[in-house]
Structure 1
Amino acid sequence: MARCSVRAVSRGHRPHGRDRRGRPVIPPTTDFSLYFVTDTALCGGVERVPHVVYEAVMGGVGVVQVRDKELGDSEFSVLAKECAKAVGRAEQDSGRPAHLFVNDRLNIAADLGLNVHVGQSDAAAKEARRVLGRDLMVGLSVSSPDEARAAVAERYADVLGIGPVWATPTKNDAGPPLGPDGVTACAAFARTVGLASVAIGGINPSTATRLAGVPVDGLCVVSAIAGAEDPRHAAAEMRRLATMTLMRGRDS
């Protein structure tokens, strides 16, 4: 399958694989502490999304997921390319690596050589792993301990997006809130086989520290950065809160 040169834009997009036991091998440069999912409307339109991505990485975001359910494939492909370039520029300017995922569009992830994040109703993680092989990361949304247990048993995903933690206006099809205890139960399954996990849903500067002690690898935000007047400042503040919050969870 032909792949374009976008993958080379960012030194953070490095090949990885799986060890002989089938456990995920996530690139050592990957920092899930603060994970940003784009929202085109909150960013101010499709033309501004790459700018917000750049500012977010400059502020401390380590992983970006490009999500837009409304764009056609050709428009989304252009957006993903521009965001990959923005991540690459931010890596060079900040001196920190960052990684880029695309949401759902497995065909575009394969064409551009990018990581993909899928939901329970999107392309299956098994299909994503088959298409992308062992060189790229696969993320999977889980909304219950049962879904987390199944993901661990299947071992196709590298990182689980666990949520929603709390009610969120940015995802209309989200399930009922898990709360910190539900996220803890899901993350515990992920840890048993070395899967990374991030909490998502309703996380903002007012709620982030309520996840202290929850054993996830990162906090995932949307509106806290996408809807901010100053995305870089907002990312820096969320990074500070994420670091403080996660320090307690890693020893749990």
Structure 2
Amino acid sequence: MLSLGRLHLVTDTRPGRDPLTVVRAALSVAGPDLVVQVRVEDTASDREAYDLAVRTAELCTEVGATWLVNDRLHVALAVGAAGGHVGADDLPVAAARRVLGPSAVLGATARDPGTAARAVTAGASYLGVGPCHATTTKNGLPPPIGPIGIRAVVDAVDVPVVAIGGVTVDRVPALLAAGAYGIAVVGAISSAADPARVVATLLGALSC
């Protein structure tokens, strides 16, 4: 199975957020155990995505952490990221694999066993599965699938399943019990008064 950090921090670039400050705080605690997924708003330009990815790469390189770029695979290639992540409205997984090459980390979004299995067959290294719980971080999401939905996907594939969507510290045990390999977090970290403390708590929950 792919060796990948179990805590994924997805950058939050909504107005009023400071993603690099949050990434820096998270890395100060998690170091190489953190995976940073660079994600920008759909309205952001490629240049804005590139600039954030470059700065994130610098921070991650300092501590040996892995970074990926969501959606914009050309940016992932441009900054030398470990790989990328594609959602339902992005390039098909097989096409994304051709773009990134055979050795890159490629995540794909799924919420049911059939979609998950097809993504793995097409070349996904891991799956981001959810939303697990209700979240306001991203608009237009389908209904939450909960731990039961996570378990259904876990039983259908042989790659790491990373739960995403409304993930908080108190919800981690149930997600792990459902078979999730790790968690991807946006709001619980980016909106915290002390992001580093939240990261430390999440890492503790993941190690139980």
The verdict on a shared fold, with TM-score over 0.5 as the criterion, is: yes
TM-score (norm 2): 0.91
| RMSD across aligned positions (CA) | 1.7
Match of 1:222 in 2: 186
Structure 1's consecutive aligned runs of 4 or more residues displaced over 3 angstroms after TM superposition are none
Q: Which of 38, 50, 63 is the aligned partner of 1:77?
A: 50
**Cα distance between partner residues in 2 of 1:111 and 1:102:** 10
Any stretches of 5+ residues in structure 2 without a counterpart?
none
Match of 1:35 in 2: 8
For residues 178-189 of structure 1, the aligned pairs below 5 Å read 178-189=145-156
Paired residue secondary structure (1:167) = coil
**Structure 1 CA distance for aligned equivalents of residues 184 and 110 of structure 2:** 13
Superposition map of 1:77-226 within 5 A: 77-89=50-62, 91=63, 97-114=64-81, 115-154=83-122, 156-191=123-158, 195-226=159-190
Aligned position for 1:67 = 39
In structure 2, what is the equivalent of residue 56 of structure 1? 26
Cα 1:34/1:135, change in 2 over 3 Å = same
Aligned residue type for 1:129: R
Q: Secondary structure at the match of 1:199?
A: strand
Secondary structure, in 3 states, of the residue corresponding to 1:207? helix
State the percentage of identical aligned residues.
Answer: 36
Read off the aligned partner of 1:147 and give its amino acid letter: T
Q: The residue matched to 1:239 in structure 2 has which SS?
A: helix
Distance in structure 1 (CA, Å) of the matches to 2:88 and 2:176: 27
Corresponding pairs, count: 204
Q: Identify the residue that residue 243 of structure 1 maps to in structure 2.
A: 207
1:115-138: CA deviation from partner (whole Å, max 9, x where unpaired) = 110001111111111011123111
Q: Is the 8 A contact 2:150 2:175 kept in 1?
A: no
Shift of 1:73: 0.2
Normalised TM-score (structure 1): 0.76
Larger Rg: 1
Unmatched runs of 5 consecutive residues or more in structure 1: 1-24, 92-96, 245-252
Cα distance in 2 between the residues matched to 1:88 and 1:109: 15
Between stretches 101-110 and 200-209, larger displacement belongs to: 200-209
